[in-house]
């Protein structure tokens, strides 16, 4: 399964998530918002140094299906440039905010979009027990699990989620490893 974290980096929550991932030697994928990359490049460097995958999640988190083509391109390119400036690494995966995309946009963007198969709704209920329960209920092989590293309850849920995955003999891989 792939653990994926969207909308960061966040100055206090993302480091806690990285600490837990490091403790259990688990790799994850972080879909980063460009303007937050610009604010916290040192956290993005840490994500890459610790072997996680990073993806482009646009500059300002718009619904890109409502933007003109050049607006989408700007959202994509500015974010890639901020990530490259912070890490010397260019993302190979994209995640459209809200999962909102189209065939036209998929053809326009140079890297594939990765959506998800388990939505924890962590941003909505903000309850670690619900996040844990939703993952357990829907867990399947090659699952791509959507969470957000900008909410403290998500960090609070992570250790139990990883222990449950390990107990059920699931390996944690990056989003691209499942996509490919």
Catalytically annotated residues: 6, 148
Closer to Zn ion by CB, 24 or 98: give it. Answer: 98
Residue span 53-92 as binding mask against Zn ion, x where in contact by CB under 5 A, dash where not? ----------------------------------------
111: burial class by Cβ within 10 Å (0-12, 13-18, 19+)? middle
The least distance separating Zn ion from the CB of residue 23, rounded to whole angstroms, comes to: 26
- The two tokens of residue 98 are 């809200």
Is the CB of 147 or the CB of 165 nearer to Zn ion?
Answer: 147
The size of the interface with Zn ion (CB under 5 A), counted in residues, is 3
> Does 122 participate in binding Zn ion (rule CB under 5 A)?
no
Instruction: Identify the residue among 55, 97, 128, 153 touching Zn ion (CB under 5 A).
Output: 97
Burial of 49 (0-12, 13-18, 19+ CB in 10 A): exposed
Q: Which residue has the tokens 């980063």?
A: 32
Nearer to Zn ion, 7 or 156 (CB): 7
Binding mask 5-24 for Zn ion (x = CB under 5 A): -xx-----------------
Alpha helices in 8-151 (DSSP H): 13-23, 34-39, 41-49, 69-87, 103-108, 122-125, 128-138
Rounded to 10 deg, the angle between the 41-49 and 69-87 helix axes is 70
Check: CB of residue 166 under 8 Å from CB of residue 173.
Answer: no
Interacting residue ranges for Zn ion, rule: CB under 5 A: 6-7, 97
């Amino acid at each position: 399964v792939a653990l994926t974290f969207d909308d960061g980096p966040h100055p206090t929550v993302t480091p806690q998530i990285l600490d837990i991932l490091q403790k259990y030697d688990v790799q994850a994928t972080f879909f980063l918002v460009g303007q937050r990359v610009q604010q916290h490049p040192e956290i993005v460097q840490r994500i890459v140094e610790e072997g996680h995958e990073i993806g482009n999640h646009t500059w300002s988190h718009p619904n890109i299906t409502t933007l003109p083509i050049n607006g989408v391109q700007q959202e994509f390119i500015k974010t890639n440039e901020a990530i490259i400036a912070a890490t010397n690494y260019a993302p190979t995966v994209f995640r459209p905010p809200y999962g909102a995309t189209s065939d036209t946009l998929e053809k326009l963007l140079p890297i594939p979009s990765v959506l998800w198969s388990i939505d924890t709704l962590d941003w909505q209920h903000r309850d670690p027990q619900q996040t844990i329960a939703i993952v357990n209920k829907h867990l399947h092989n090659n699952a791509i699990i959507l969470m957000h590293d900008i909410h403290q309850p998500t960090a609070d849920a992570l250790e139990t989620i990883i222990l449950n995955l390990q107990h059920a003999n699931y390996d944690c891989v990056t989003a691209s490893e499942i996509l490919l």
